[in-house]
Amino acid sequence: MADMKVAAYICQGCGLGDRLDTKALAGVAKKEGKAAIVKEHEFLCNAEGVKMIRDDIANEAVTHVMIGACSRRAKTEAFGFTDVCVSRANLREGVIWSQPETDEAQETTQEMAEDYIRMGCAEVKKMTLPAGDPAAVTERTLLVVGGGVSGMTAALEASRAGYKVVLVEKSGALGGWAAKLHKRTPGKSPYADPQETPVAAMVAAIEGDANIKVYLNAVTSKIGGAPGRFEAEISTESGSTVTEKAGGIVQSTGFNLYDANKLPELGYGKSANVVDQAGLEALAKAAGGGAIKRPSDGGEVKRVVFVQCAGQRDDSGKHLPYCSGSCCLTSVKQAMYFKDANPDIDTVVIYQDLRMPGQGEDFYRSGQTKGVTFTKGKVSGVEAAGNQCKVAFQDLILNDQVVIDDADLVVLATGQVPNSGVDIDTKLKAEIAAAAGDNSLMEAYNASQQEGAVKPVSILNLTYRQGPDMPQLKYGFADSHFICFPYETRRTGIYAAGPVRRPMDMVQAMEDATGATMKAIQAIENAGIGRAAHPRSGDLSYPIFRKEGCTQCKRCTVECPFGAIDEDEQRFPQFNQARCRRCGTCMGACPVRVISFENYSVETVGSQLKAVDVPDEFSEKPRILVLACENDAYPALDMAAMNRNVYSAFVRVIPVRCLGSVNTIWINDALSNGYDGVMMMGCKHGDDYQCHFVKGSELANIRMSKIGDTLKNMSLEEERVSTFEVAITDIERVPQLINDYAALIQKIGMSPMKGF
């Protein structure tokens, strides 16, 4: 770049001036980093230091700034210069806080700092200032698919925030499952009695809200576009189709109860007096607050047995393996229907474990006070006996077989099955399970492909290359990690809320919908100015593709976790910037390195690792490259340093957006340049993944499993490249991993590639 002007600034604050020779660092930036302006400052992040940098940008035509101070995760506001390219050399957490303050360590500590200055200067010179997405637009409307309590909450919250809403509900009325309830479990103090549902009030609020447009008896028959510019075709029962534009989408399609017909051993279908929880709600609504009658003959109900975990928490593979969370609360509520009408009615809840989320403990105590009996047991069978039922169970306290032979009504707590639509990864999951010895999923998949089999119905009908619905977890819930990034899905700008995301009660569903709406609004606003969504919110860069070098291998289109890459008519990759999360997985996948970002590329990282001064093999100072995920591993390293957890001075750490962005050329270059080892630190992957980009860490692990041939061709030991799963909380473990690896390298010996 002809008009590039680099300025380097070295901070002396936070002990940097005491531990490091900052004058020597400035000399490195000037001589080796080729910085046109080099300045030291006693406290670079204070108002005076920031003003000095801003004045140089304004008056000296500085275009690229290298700041040698604290971690790039610190002082982001002070050093948030948006009109120039910025790199950060981590001298505080990365050097002086991670190294012992001893005379013996002074030399290696200074060497670390000088290398990080070289790396910072090398990185910034390979950057260009992101121009933003030239096609950035936004429609300040939220599309909500599903009109239950979750969907209505999302619509109302978005409207209150000043956004238009299009609410699509497949049935003829709003309310979902909540509209079928006689009463709800309490959502506010004193948590003692069942309460009225909020459905009527919410429906009235929606009907009176000019910001909310409702489509009933309607489905989304086609959704295309991207954040800020989705287009949804909405088909109604009458056959008409309308097109609505939206900036973001919330899927709140709820759940169905597990099919109790699959539980004949519990009497369902064999006796009219065996119902599921929805069946009891229907009986309670029909009674209108009066006495609930026995379904078989309309007779008086004197004893009710509630069977918990009916077809749930099943380890046989036949039924639901998970707990649905809200069923215990629901059974306590339903037992109170009877106790509140007639305290003499015997109500027995047979449970294995009672689970009462939120303030459910108070509700449980209230049930005890009203005389509800709770028995810890496992039901083995329910049989019809005229107009009554026999319930056999193992008493888990007394370790005894017990039979209740006069139950007038048996209620099965059957659990929640999400309405997620088509599982686009069904076959892949079945193949993975079969490889592990479990053929049940493959059998189910094969059955689903038989002629005449009932096919799952798509809900969103996305026009994405990867499939019509969002990816799902192994139990069918929308793939939205409930700890690291709730509501987020692998479809940028589309968020999951309520029981379609995980089992939950009404209180949790309303909170969930509020959170998902907030995320959708963030996506709408970010899309309007071309910025990335979470977790790189604010990033204006996007993939740049050099078409003439592309081999059409399709690795980028297949590996993108977010469906951001399609193919054009010539079968070249076609990038959708608004869907892109800027993880760089496509860049790591590309074997010919034709994909990059303005501020993050094969060259920005490659130039850093090449800038390090690698000592010769006789110095006994190995160099270990650490490629650390910026979302977990790099913060863990920073926090370890804050706790003064010391690690080897021989490592040089480069943060990467995601391990999925790691291109194997970086490994080759590092080894060819004499590095003695390469450590890659990424997030946990698998079913309980913690990767912020979902698949990035897993893809990197697969790629690196094939690096052995490269090492063999270079006559290097396989241990010289290792991958580690790291959590953000591993502040004690990460330094130990580094020290153990450094010891291993010392044992193996220096790389024979030094000096080549």
What is the CA 226 to chain-centroid distance, rounded? 19
Q: Mean of the pLDDT values across residues 79-103? A: 96
pLDDT digits (tens, 9 = 90+) for 93-127: 999 999 999 999 999 999 999 999 999 999 999 99
| pLDDT at residue number 606 | 97
| pLDDT at residue number 437 | 77
Rounded CA separation 539/528 (Å): 13
Burial 233-265, CB ≥16 within 10 A → b, else e = ebbeeeeeeeebbbbbbbbbbbbebbebebbee
Q: Is the pLDDT of residue 313 over 60?
A: yes
Secondary structure element (H or E) that encloses residue 647, with its range: none
pLDDT > 90 fraction of the chain, expressed in percent and rounded: 80
| pLDDT at residue number 755 | 64
pLDDT digits (tens, 9 = 90+) for 647-675: 999 999 999 999 999 999 999 999 999 99
Rounded CA separation 712/296 (Å): 76
Q: Contact 715/634 with Cβ under 8 angstroms?
A: no
pLDDT digits (tens, 9 = 90+) for 131-175: 877 778 899 999 999 999 999 999 999 999 999 999 999 999 999
246 vs 544: which has the higher pLDDT: 246
Res. 438 pLDDT band, cuts 50 70 90: confident
Cα dihedral: 633, 637, 639, 641 (round 10): 180
| pLDDT at residue number 1 | 46
Rounded CA separation 722/681 (Å): 9
At residue 244's C-alpha, the angle toward residues 240 and 249, to 5°, is 120
DSSP state of 318: S
Beta carbons within 10 angstroms of residue 18's beta carbon: 11
690 vs 636: which has the higher pLDDT: 636
Q: Mean of the pLDDT values across residues 611-629? A: 92
Q: Contact 459/420 with Cβ under 8 angstroms?
A: yes
DSSP state of 40: E
Task: Report the length, in residues, of the chain.
Answer: 756
Q: Mean of the pLDDT values across residues 218-223? A: 97
Q: Mean of the pLDDT values across residues 308-315? A: 95
Rounded CA separation 452/689 (Å): 36
- Report strand pairing: 230-236 vs 241-246: antiparallel
- Please provide the DSSP assignment of 227-242 as one string: TT-EEEEEEETTS-EE
| pLDDT at residue number 756 | 62
**Closest by Cα among 425, 417, 519, 415 to 472:** 425
CA–CA distances in Å: residue 215 to residues 457, 685, 736, 745: 19, 40, 58, 65
Q: Which residue has the tokens 């490091």?
A: 20
Q: Contact 666/605 with Cβ under 8 angstroms?
A: yes
What is the CA 100 to chain-centroid distance, rounded? 37
- Which residues does residue 85 pair with via DSSP β-bridges, in sequence order? 64
Rounded CA separation 270/512 (Å): 38
At residue 549's C-alpha, the angle toward residues 545 and 552, to 5°, is 85
In terms of Cβ atoms closer than 10 Å to its own Cβ (0-12, 13-18, 19+), residue 429 is: middle
Q: Is the pLDDT of residue 482 over 70?
A: no
Q: Mean of the pLDDT values across residues 365-382? A: 97
| pLDDT at residue number 16 | 97
User: Helices marked H in 506-653 — which ranges?
Assistant: 506-528, 555-559, 585-589, 602-611, 633-642
Q: Is the pLDDT of residue 444 over 80?
A: no
Question: 390: helix, coil or strand?
Answer: strand
Rounded CA separation 77/212 (Å): 37
At residue 119's C-alpha, the angle toward residues 114 and 121, to 5°, is 95
At residue 24's C-alpha, the angle toward residues 23 and 27, to 5°, is 90
Q: Contact 113/90 with Cβ under 8 angstroms?
A: no
Rounded CA separation 724/480 (Å): 24
E-assigned strand segments in 216-329: 218-224, 230-236, 241-246, 248-251, 255-257, 274-276, 303-307
| pLDDT at residue number 255 | 96
pTM: 0.90
- Report strand pairing: 416-418 vs 255-257: antiparallel
pLDDT digits (tens, 9 = 90+) for 35-79: 999 999 999 999 999 999 999 999 999 999 999 999 999 999 999
Q: Picking from 332-336, 384-388, 407-411, 715-719, which range would have the lowest pLDDT averaged per residue?
A: 715-719
pLDDT > 70 fraction of the chain, expressed in percent and rounded: 99
Cα dihedral: 453, 454, 456, 459 (round 10): 150
Domains of the chain plus CATH, in order, are: 1-129 (3.40.50), 141-254+457-528 (3.50.50.60), 258-416 (3.50.50.60), 614-756 (3.40.50)
According to the 3-state scheme, what is the secondary structure of 516-531?
Answer: HHHHHHHHHHHHHCCC
CA–CA distances in Å: residue 74 to residues 29, 70, 77, 120: 22, 6, 8, 16
CA–CA distances in Å: residue 168 to residues 165, 172, 586: 10, 11, 35
The single-letter code of the amino acid at 749 is G
| pLDDT at residue number 365 | 95
Rounded CA separation 70/67 (Å): 9
